[in-house]
Amino acid sequence: MEIKVTKSDRPVCYDDSDLGFGKVFSNHMFVMDYERGKGWHDPQILPYSDLSTSPAMMALHYGQSIFEGMKAYRTESGDLQLFRPMENIKRFNISAERMCIPTIDEDLFLSALEKLISIDADFVPRAANTSLYIRPFAFATTPELGVRPADNYKFVIITSPSGAYYKSGLAPVKIYVEPEYIRASVGGVGHVKTAGNYAASLKAQQLAAGKGYSQVLWLDSKNHENIEEVGAMNVFFVIDGEIVTPIPQGSILEGITRKSCIEILRDKGYKVTEKVLSLAEVLEAHAAGKLNEAFGTGTAAVISPIGELYFKDKKYEINNNQIGAVSQFIYSTLTDIQFGRMPDEYGWVYKLREEL
């Protein structure tokens, strides 16, 4: 399918040094519609603008809505590149499948990303560790009040020049271990990026923030015993030199950063174990002085070192609230690959072509 382009006449104007995250948007967006019987059709790049919707649009009422999050990076020589884009595309289609949204052709998806980013190349920021955050999403547009898979959908990609997540370098965060609220349960939709998961997490997040904690650590929905994730990040612990992380069993989102960390760490000779990991095991390791480090992983922050866990009126400081060696190593390695400061021995970098 040919992607039709309508150019914006808005000038490129934003401040590299004060971007924040997900607040400024590029001049263009990709839009494609779906109608049952006709399939996905009319892929277009349009000037970034509001979308108009019916108040009966099904996504608003029943939450049939999915998304992805990825980044484009500018290298020192000025080239633009993506990190493992096919992983995001495949995961988007897994989310689509679970939410009864029609899947998107992988090649078309990749072409849409390439074309959109090449048109808005000036929006990929230049300051150190800044990048273009990319948000593909799809939602049900059929104007009808009935709980069933919709007949019409929109697939949209918007992009946002975003600042370095940590203004003054990697900094440890304080995490609230949530004893009551849960994020997702096995058999549900916790393993896919669907809007409702994030709406459901807000209450616990808000309560934790009110107590001075930046994120919630989620426990399993059945017994509130086993560790799942941290906010919208996967979580790793270094216990007595061994790196452990919860094994995904349907309620955890399988992060691409998580997967990349495991691959790099194993490749560099670290012992990495995926298993059912209880909070008790982590707290016992802490008591025995064997909890060396903890960190979260996700596209937005890449690595988020954890300096403190709070659970049922007790505070557990980790690594003297300092960044640990493993956290620092994996953060540097991943960002060096993403920004092209290090040769990509894994074949993860996807270079964008200049002219399309």
Ligand X SMILES: *Cc1c(COP(=O)(O)O)cnc(C)c1O
CA atoms of 270 and 299, how far apart (whole Å): 22
E strands along 141-198, which residues? 152-162, 173-177
Three-state secondary-structure class, residue 53: coil
Q: Which residues, 6+ apart, have CB-to-CB distance to 277 below 8 Å?
A: 226, 227, 237, 244, 245, 246, 247
Stretch that binds ligand X, among 11-19, 48-56, 117-125, 231-239 (CB under 6 A): 231-239
Contacts of 155 (CB under 8 A, 6+ apart): 30, 31, 32, 33, 34, 40, 104, 136, 137, 138
Residue 323 tokens, joined: 């960044």
Query: Taking the mean position of all CA atoms in its chain, how far away is CA 137?
Result: 13
d(CA 261, CA 348): 12
Please give the helix or strand (H or E) that residue 116 lies within, else none: helix 106-119
**Smallest gap, in angstroms, from Cβ of residue 144 to ligand X?**
29
Chain residues 188-227 in contact with ligand X, contact rule CB under 6 A: 193
234 scored as a contact of ligand X (CB under 6 A): yes
- Residue 224 has φ and ψ, to the nearest 5°, of 55, 45
Between 208 and 285, CB nearer to ligand X: 208
Q: Which stretch binds ligand X (CB under 6 A): 116-124, 219-227, 232-240, 276-284?
A: 232-240
Question: Which stretch in 166-174, 208-216, 220-228, 293-301 sits in contact with ligand X by CB under 6 A?
Answer: 293-301
Closest CA to 246 of 264, 219, 208: 219
> Nearer Cβ to ligand X, position 116 or 334?
334
Residue closer to ligand X by CB (options 299, 333) is: 299
Among 82, 158, 232, 306, binds ligand X (CB under 6 A): 232
Amino acid symbol at 32: M
Which residue number, 88 or 141, has a Cβ lying nearer to ligand X? 88
Piece of 29-37, 115-123, 137-145, 253-261 that binds ligand X (CB under 6 A): 253-261
Least distance from C-beta 246 to ligand X, angstroms?
Answer: 11
Q: Is residue 136 a contact residue for ligand X (CB under 6 A)? A: no
Phi, psi torsion values for 39, nearest 5 degrees = 80, -170
For ligand X, which residue has the nearest CB?
255
Among residues 5, 35, 69, 166, which is the contact residue for ligand X, using CB under 6 A? Answer: 69
**Min. distance of Cβ 201 from ligand X in angstroms?**
8
Q: Which one of residues 81, 130, 257, 319 is an interface residue with ligand X (CB under 6 A)?
A: 257
Coarse DSSP helix, strand, coil percentages of the chain, rounded to the nearest 5 percent: 25, 30, 45
Question: 299, 304, 335, 338: which one contacts ligand X (CB under 6 A)?
Answer: 299
Instruction: Report in angstroms how near the CB of residue 260 gets to ligand X at its nearest.
Output: 8
Residue placing its CB nearer to ligand X in the complex, 91 or 174: 91
Of 62 and 67, the one with the shorter C-beta distance to ligand X is 67
Binding footprint of ligand X on the chain (CB under 6 A): 69, 193, 229, 232-234, 253, 255-258, 297-299
